[in-house]
Chains A and B, each alone.
Chain A
């Protein structure tokens, strides 16, 4: 379901990491955010947050894809 927020992370992570990301988003969006946390190593590194129909992508994979696009275009 789209209304369920999800946080995808690559590699090992701790409760503190999640808490830091969670509070960051809560501050940014001005409301309390809860995540279902999923480990996804295909991201290579970093995280991507799926909140309310939007993806906030800060993963290494997105960075590489973006770089690839800028170089080939």
Chain B
């Protein structure tokens, strides 16, 4: 801007100072009446608006959430010992906002936009944390797939760009792992990821950052973190802040994937805030608007119309259940808001089926139309077959006599289960998924012992990579599986199994 010339710096500053015009300031103020558990009651400040950011003496900030005749109720953002009764409060005239834009890529920020990775952050653009969802006319149907790189999901519960797909399950069933795999898989598809940690352990967030960095997926990712030791108001703001960051990309025509990890803790943070604000409590002591809390957040995910640039925001909210109870309050709420759910089961997880997907209870309400035609061509009856196998397997457990066709069904099902297993952070390209399903369709694995299936699968994919790389690449690029491509891949698979008898 100035070069190295000291004089020009001085003259620039001088002109700035001469330009400066002072206008005496008049603004409203209030006085802190009481301050308990991060909830501040304020006298005065009558002209403030709902959700406005207020500033206290000593560089502390709060959020006005309750207006009444007698004053204002606010929550403190961050910890501050400087807020005491008698302290002066001012409105800032703006609702809470967060810095947005490309500068945030690869960064870790807190819910009010302060960098947490120790590096300076200078963003030019801000967006309000709370924002209206796109209207009906601003949306277009979900028609492009969001590949998660997980065979079980991409084949049976496909997710489309702009969809909201809930990941629900008990603790330690691999919910975050699914979201992470999806994020890792986006680096080649040019989809921006936002990971929103709400009330997570700091060690978990650190681990997520480490995995994303080692998988080279951090450069197109933004992490918004509020850990378990942050106050309830920060945890409450985190998903809205993450959503605002994602929205900016979406309205610029980009595709975004946002992960809310997890909304159970978000509801709990909101519950503690509401109870301290003395709002009436309802079921499980959650306040009456806990449904609206999540619906207004998830409604902001959308596939925008072409006039608005055609960007999209895909949301993967995570909800934790207790002892597999998906009919609890928060899970049912979020299930009814989202366009489907991925249900993970601890029994499957402990039996070594990972991802521990319960196919019967998992659905995707819009993703099927967004599925790539190559995948559609090979995954048609997969769900049905797997469901039949699980049903039959339960009976076969009792050692009943089984006929040949049932034995065949069981053998196929066992192999399918093996094929759907995937190691953590090990994502598969579309062509690889298609090849595995083609091999399964042709019953190539029938002579392979169950325990060797995944090793053979790996060898097969390596073989295909050597012998028909161009066809595989064409499938990845076009998303279609022409008859000739299909024949080339099936022939290569047959060759592989013939050679390795």
Contact = CB atoms under 8 A, between A and B. Distances in A.
Contact of A55 (B20, B22, B27, B46): B27
Nearest to A52: B44
Nearest to A55: B29
Contact of A54 (B20, B23, B26, B31): B26
Contacts of B29: 2, 50, 53-55
Contacts of A44: none
A54 B43 contact: no
B28 interface: yes
B30 to A, nearest CB: 7
Contacts of A67: 20, 22
A53 B24 contact: no
A57 B45 contact: no
Contacts of A13: none
A66 B26 contact: no
Nearest to A4: B31
A2 B31 contact: yes
Interface residues of B, number: 18
Nearest to B16: A71
A50 B86 CA distance: 13
A66 B43 contact: no
Contacts of A58: 24
A39 interface: no
A55 to B, nearest CB: 5
B22 A63 contact: yes
A56 B26 contact: yes
B278 interface: no
B90 A53 contact: no
Interface in A9-66: 50, 53-58, 62-63, 66
Interface string B36-53: 000000011110000000
Contact of B46 (A50, A53, A56, A70): A53
A2 B27 CA distance: 14
A61 B46 CA distance: 25
B25 A66 contact: yes
B27 A53 contact: no
Given A2-B30, A63-B22, A66-B22, A53 B44 contact: yes
Given A2-B44, A63-B22, A53 B28 contact: yes
A62 B46 CA distance: 22
Contacts of B43: 1-2
Which label, helix, strand, loop or mixed, suits the secondary structure of the B interface?
strand
A53 B16 CA distance: 34
Given A1-B43, A2-B43, A2-B44, A56 B24 contact: yes
B25 A54 contact: no
Nearest to B25: A57
Contacts of B46: 53
Nearest to B90: A55
Contact of A62 (B20, B25, B88): B25
Contacts of A1: 31, 43
Interface centre among B25, B44, B46, B90 (most CB of A within 10 A): B25
Contacts of B31: 1-2
Contacts of B23: 66
Nearest to B24: A58
Contacts of A53: 28-30, 44-46
B30 A54 contact: no
B458 to A, nearest CB: 56
A17 B24 CA distance: 19
A43 to B, nearest CB: 12
A11 B23 CA distance: 22
A54 B90 CA distance: 10
A1 B44 CA distance: 9
Nearest to B31: A2
A33 to B, nearest CB: 15
Nearest to B43: A2
Nearest to A48: B25
Contacts of A71: 16, 20
Contacts of B45: 53
Contact of B26 (A2, A57, A70): A57
Given A2-B43, A66-B25, 12 more contacts: A2-B29, A54-B28, A54-B29, A55-B25, A55-B27, A56-B26, A57-B24, A63-B22, A66-B23, A67-B20, A67-B22, A71-B16
Interface of A: 1-2, 50, 53-58, 62-63, 66-67, 70-71
5 contacts: A50-B88, A53-B30, A53-B45, A54-B28, A56-B25
- 9 closest A-B pairs by beta carbon, nearest first, are A2-B44, A57-B25, A53-B44, A55-B29, A2-B43, A56-B26, A55-B27, A54-B28, A58-B24
